[in-house]
Structure 1
Amino acid sequence: MKNPFATFTSLLLVACFGVIAATEVSRCYNQEVPLPDVVAVENCDKSPCTFYINYESRMSISFRAPRYLEHIAPRAQAVVMGLNLSYPLGQDDACDGVTNTPCPLAKGEYIEYSYGMLVLDIFPEVGLNLEFSLLDNDQGGQAFVCFNVDLQLVKKN
């Protein structure tokens, strides 16, 4: 059964932003790390999502904290033409993106996290796979939530 609070949160995002709705994503390569309850990528309901070069694309995730979390960080890994690349996010503390409660996060607490990802103009128009995760720095950088999404980077006309 789907989490009714997650469904409500997704509908609230649509009502507030209009262009953000739940996005179909897949599990990360490490199958033990759970998917968020809801992933919402701006203007995208299923892969591949279009990200515009030199523009910021917004995404948000909602999930339940699996344990007490105090020091968390976002991580983005891109697979482009067979190469694994870390993408610099410019956000070391994921608490900066938590929108519904202050950190630290209590076990079982429902969390909403939002991030605006700027696609630097050094990137060519290319398709890639993005793995986005949140890490628990108090557990050696262990991912506690993760998703994969295919992206198409394009120049905006």
Structure 2
Amino acid sequence: MILKLAGIFLFISIATADPIPFKDCGSSGVTDVTLGLTNCSALPCTFHKNQNVTLNLKFTTTRQLNSLKNLVYGIIAGVKVPFPLPQADACKNGVPCPVAANTVVQEALSLVVLPEYPSISLFVQFQVNADNDEPVNDQFTNIKEKYSKE
């Protein structure tokens, strides 16, 4: 099961975030997906170094999901480059697993934009895998984000 979305984050309190557009890449297993990023209501989003960015994800399951794992990739020159998360397991981030069918799931993910990140524009793909890393929900890709030099 996969949810692909824009962002890089890891926190479990729902913060205020502006809704942003995203691209669905062939979802299955979830419906009614919404995505929000703090301080970003229009694309491209600009993330400033040494600041937190929080992504709010909400979706409804269409079947039972036993596990959920967050994955983040930067798309650089057409290549998916994995981005390490301090805690990729959504079930350890406050999502009660297993998640029954027809359940609304909310997750807030927060991450500090580190000073060593390059100041470049890139597309970010965020996805949530479920049950043996099976792609279930392909959501939220090709959201352009820029890291500022600030």
Q: TM-score range by the shorter chain?
A: 0.7 to 0.9
1:113 corresponding residue in structure 2: 107
**Mapped partners of 2:32, 2:74: distance in 1:** 19
Structure 1's unaligned 5+ residue stretches are 1-12
CA contact (8 A) 1:73 1:91 kept: no
2:9 corresponding residue in structure 1: none
Cα shift at 1:36: 5.8
1:24 corresponding residue in structure 2: 21
**Mapped partners of 1:130, 1:36: distance in 2:** 21
RMSD: 2.2
Q: How many residues align?
A: 134
2:54 corresponding residue in structure 1: 58
* Residues 1:154 and 2:132 are matched in the alignment: no
The correspondence of residues 29-44 of structure 1 with structure 2, limited to 5 A, is 31-33=25-27, 37-44=33-40
Higher helix share: 1
**Mapped partners of 1:60, 1:52: distance in 2:** 18
Q: 1:57/1:140 Cα in 2 relative to 1: closer, same or farther (>3 Å)?
A: closer
Partner SS for 2:105: strand
Structure 2's unaligned 5+ residue stretches are 1-13
Q: Which has the higher contact order (CA 8 A, sep 6+)?
A: 2
Cα shift at 1:78: 0.8
Q: Deviations over 1:18-62 (max 9, x none)?
A: xx22112223xxx32267621000111121111112322001111
CA contact (8 A) 1:23 1:45 kept: yes
Divergent runs of 4+, >4 A: none
The worse-fitting range, judged by mean Cα deviation, of 67-76 and 79-88 is 79-88
